[in-house]
Amino acid sequence: MEFLSKGLIGVALAAVVIVLLLGLYNMMRGGDSNRSQKLMRWRVILQFVAIVVAMAVLYFTSR
């Protein structure tokens, strides 16, 4: 169970980092600003998901 919970948190955080880096790369190379905005919106959504996953893991492992 511990491996699964740490794995879920790791996947959620990795998704946030990947989308963040893609968005930053797109902005730095002067790419389409609409794509950068979409990637940053996805980053915010994925951050929310990562927080929910982390809180759920803490809640269920503390019982």
DSSP per-residue string spanning 1-63: -HHHHHHHHHHHHHHHHHHHHHHHHHHHTT--HHHHHHHHHHHHHHHHHHHHHHHHHHHHH--
Residue 40 has pLDDT above 80, yes or no: yes
Residue 31 has pLDDT above 90, yes or no: no
Residue 15 has pLDDT above 80, yes or no: yes
Mean pLDDT within 14-37: 92
Mean pLDDT within 3-22: 90
